[in-house]
A and B are shown apart, each in its own frame.
Chain A
Amino acid sequence: MKKIFSAKRNALLSSATISWGGGALALVLIILLVRFAAPNIFWRAFAPVFHAADTLALASHTFAASFGTAAALTLQNERLTSENSALASENQALSQKIVNISALSGFSVPQQHASGILAGVLAHPPVSPYDTLVLSAGSTAGVRKGMEVFGAGGVPLGVVETVLADFSRAVLFSAPGMSTYGWVGKASSPVTLVGEGAGTMSALMPRSANIIVGDSVFVPGPGMLPIGSVVRIDDEPSSPSVTLRIMLSQNIFSIPWVLVRDSGTALQGPLFSATSTLP
C-alpha cells in the first residue's frame, strides 16, 4: 500500500501546532534556565538591551520636550539654576558651620566625602516592577551583598541583595516588604519604615508624636541621612496612631548611576533583633 507523506501531517513537528504563544513560552523558559545556570552571562547578554531601552526613553523624552514652548523651558531652566546655586551656597554655609562648631568644641568632625563604588543603573522602576535596581557593577568592582546604595547627594536608596561577577541587584527601601529603621520629624522620633512600592513608604506613629506633612525622614548610615519626607498623614479618629505616607526624595524612576559602599546596613537586622531597644 502506497503511503502518502505530507509535511502538514508530521506528528512530531508542524508549524500549525506551534503557536506564537507556545514559542514565546519556550523561549522564556530557556531564558529562565540561563538566568539560573549562568546569571553573569545572562546579564551580559541583556545589558545592551537595557542600554538601548534607556537611549530610547531619553530620545522620546527629548522629542516630547521639544513640543514645549521655548519661553517656558527657558524660565524653568533659569529657576532651576538659581535654586541649584542657592542650595549649593546653603550647603557650603552649613559645612562651614560644622567646621566652626567643631573648632569651638574641640571635636574634629571627619570630612564627609562621597566615596564608594560608582555603578551604572541598568534597570530601574517603573520598568522594574519590584522597586529594585539592576547595577552594572559586581564582585569584580568590589560590590558585596549588604552594601548600601546611595543616590545623588548621598541619599540612601537601598541595599545590595544579589551580587554577580559584573552585575548586582539592589532592593530599594521602598520595595514592598522592606522594613527599615529611622527617624522622623523635628524631634527625630524613632520609626519603622515599611516599603509600599513605587518609591513610597509608610510608618505608624502615635498621634502624640505630632508629625506634620513635610517633616523629613532620616535613616542611619553614618549619622542621620535624609531619605524622604512625609507627604500625607492618614488619620482615623478611633485609632491612637496615625499612618505616615512617605515619598523618597530621590526620583527612583530616573537614576543613571549610584554609589555603593559599606555602611554597616547588613548588621542592622541582627543588631536590632539581638537587643531590646527597638524603635
Chain B
Amino acid sequence: MMRGAFTLATLASVIFFPWPLTAVLMLVSSLVEPLVPLAAGIFTDTLYYTPKAGVLPFFTLFGALVTVVALLVRSRLRTGIIRG
C-alpha cells in the first residue's frame, strides 16, 4: 500500500507540483521502491527536457544516481542481515 502510494505520488508530483518537491519525493520513495526515482526522472525529462534548455537530461541522471545508490544500500543491508 505504502509502496504504491509513494510511487503514484512521485509520478503525479511531476505534473502537479514544483520540481523541488518531485526531487524530495524521489529521494524518499527510493527508500521503499528503488526504481521509482529513475522512473520519475525519465518521466520529468520526457515532459519537459529540451536540448536547448539544458546540456544533459538532468532529472534522468539524478534519478538513475538515486536508484543506483538505493540498490547498493539495499544490497548491503541484506548482506548485513544475513551475516547477523
Contact = CB atoms under 8 A, between A and B. Distances in A.
A56 B16 CA distance: 8
A162 B59 contact: no
Contact of A127 (B3, B11, B19, B49): B19
Interface string B1-31: 0011011000100011111100000000000
Contacts of A19: 3, 33, 35
Contact of A130 (B3, B34, B43, B50): B50
Interface stretch (A8-16, A22-30, A181-189): A22-30
A20 B7 contact: yes
Contacts of B39: 21, 24-25, 27-28
A175 B54 contact: yes
Contacts of A246: none
B67 to A, nearest CB: 8
Contacts of B83: none
Interface string B43-84: 110111110111100110000000000000000000000000
A46 B43 CA distance: 12
A264 B4 CA distance: 49
Interface residues of A, number: 36
Q: Is the interface of B mostly helix, strand, loop or mixed?
A: helix
Contacts of A46: 15, 47
Contact of A21 (B35, B43, B50, B53): B35
A25 B35 contact: yes
Contacts of A126: 18-20
Given A20-B7, A25-B38, A28-B39, A130 B49 contact: yes
Contacts of A21: 3, 7, 33-36, 38-39
B55 A127 contact: no
Contacts of A134: 47-48
B23 to A, nearest CB: 9
A53 interface: yes
A50 interface: yes
A132 B53 contact: yes
A161 B4 contact: no
Given A19-B33, A22-B35, A56-B16, A171 B42 contact: no
A28 B42 CA distance: 7
A35 B35 CA distance: 21
A26 to B, nearest CB: 9
B3 A123 contact: no
Given A128-B48, A175-B52, A50 B43 contact: no
29 contacts: A20-B3, A20-B7, A21-B35, A21-B36, A21-B38, A25-B38, A25-B39, A28-B11, A28-B39, A31-B43, A32-B42, A32-B46, A35-B46, A53-B16, A123-B47, A123-B48, A127-B16, A127-B18, A127-B19, A128-B19, A129-B48, A129-B59, A132-B53, A161-B52, A162-B50, A175-B52, A176-B54, A177-B54, A178-B53
Interface of A: 19-25, 27-29, 31-32, 35, 46, 49-50, 53, 56-57, 123, 126-132, 134, 161-162, 169, 171, 175-178
